[in-house]
Amino acid sequence: MTEKDNNLVSTPDLCDAYPEQVRVLDSVFNDYGGVTSFFGQVVTIKCFEDNSVVKQLVSTPGEGRVIVMDGGGSLRRAILGDMLAAQAADNGWAGLVINGCIRDCLEIAETAVGVKALNTHPMKTEKRGLGDLDVPVTFAGQTIMPGDWLYADQNGVLVCDQALSFD
């Protein structure tokens, strides 16, 4: 993959260059993070109203990867808050794409990490130790596999089963 500043990711350009390889997620996400354009290899989490696995994962080295969380589309609890977003940024995660809600949106907007989610909700999740790491997740019209590559900017989110060149 050609190195390029994350702020210069262009999903329209990638769609033009790789129309047969990219899978575009439905336009259901809002931007919340301090970084609006990001990319990286995917680590998936399937969790419903419980962010125990998220909390464990953001404490590990991100190495420029992207966390994709399937929260079942729940609008009743926030899977991500300001402390976990800050921890993700501090540990080198490029971004998070969440099929669910976040909270502490003003603080997350000041955090150097990409965050896309469905909406906000003030209630935190319960910690029951539930959730699956590195499993296929399906939402926003696409199935996302662990190890896929995700590219996101203000135009949208797309995934591909291989790294794409920006040339």
**pLDDT tens digits, residue range 79-104?**
999 999 999 999 999 999 999 999 99
Which tens digits make up the pLDDT trace of 98-143?
A: 999 999 999 999 999 999 999 999 999 988 888 999 999 999 999 9
167 band by pLDDT with thresholds 50, 70 and 90: low
Q: Which residues are annotated as a binding site?
A: 81-84, 103-104
Which tens digits make up the pLDDT trace of 48-62?
A: 999 999 999 999 999
Q: Which residues are annotated as a binding site for substrate?
A: 81-84, 103
Nearest to 45 by CA among 69, 18, 76: 69
**Residue pair 152/42 in contact by the 8 Å Cβ criterion:** no
The pLDDT, as a whole number, for residue 127 is 85
Residue ranges of domains in the chain, CATH in brackets: 23-160 (3.50.30.40)
Element (H, E) at 105: helix 105-108
pTM equals 0.94
Q: Which residues are annotated as a binding site for Mg(2+)?
A: 104
